[in-house]
């Protein structure tokens, strides 16, 4: 699992360097396609100092398979998503500023840019109801709200983005944060124009069928 652990560290550091997380906030994981085990960041350690042995390997029930560190307190949320979504092999949970700010508002994050529409396929980004961090309840509501999607906000908490691999999950987290930043700027400039729902869904279908090296 050495390469998988190194990949988790690489993405976690990218997120930290790009400002998607601060200090030791957020958490990152991937599911190994061969064993089904999950590599997850440890609790409370700075990303810039992580080494492969710091990454904890667990099974889908949360039993530690490899590693002596305490796994992230949000491990139950990661595992709840993996259990519900057999197509997901990477998860990024960030506290990126603009997405988290929208998650703290009663108003929904509007989808104003085509890239975000292609990701979520809706006029707004869904927000899971608040549950205390690190709890099984948070995991269940997050997995339920995510459904078949790839990114949701967590009320008063942050963002969770998923993908068929950890690199894609990270890209999805970036897309949501950029969409949230643009929405904030646009709403402070003037009256915004939502993309119509049918166009959001068309863009989502287009991205699923044609975008990238499939």
Pairing, β 90-94 against β 109-110? unpaired
Does the annotation mark 74 as catalytic? yes
Evaluated on CA atoms 167, 169, 175, 180, the torsion sign reads negative
Catalytic residue (one of 74, 122, 167, 178): 74
Residues marked active site are found at 74
């Amino acid at each position: 699992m050495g390469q998988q652990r190194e990949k988790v560290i690489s993405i976690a550091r990218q997120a930290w360097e790009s400002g998607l997380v601060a200090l030791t906030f957020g958490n990152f994981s991937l599911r190994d396609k061969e064993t089904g085990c999950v590599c997850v960041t440890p609790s409370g350690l700075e990303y810039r100092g992580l080494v492969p042995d710091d990454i904890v390997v667990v099974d889908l029930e949360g039993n530690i398979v490899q590693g002596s560190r305490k796994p992230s307190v949000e491990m139950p949320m990661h595992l709840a998503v993996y259990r519900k979504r057999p197509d997901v092999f990477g998860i990024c949970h960030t506290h990126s500023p603009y997405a988290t700010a929208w998650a703290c508002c009663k108003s929904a994050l509007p989808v104003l840019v085509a890239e975000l529409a292609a990701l979520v396929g809706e006029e707004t980004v869904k927000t899971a109801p608040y549950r205390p961090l690190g709890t099984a309840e948070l995991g269940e509501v997050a997995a339920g709200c995510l459904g078949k999607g790839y990114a949701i906000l967590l009320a008063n908490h942050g963002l969770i983005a998923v993908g068929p691999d950890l690199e894609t999950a990270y890209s999805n987290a970036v897309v949501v944060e950029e969409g949230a930043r643009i929405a904030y700027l646009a709403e402070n400039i003037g009256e915004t124009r939502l993309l119509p729902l049918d166009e959001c869904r068309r863009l989502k279908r287009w991205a699923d069928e044609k975008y990238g090296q499939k």
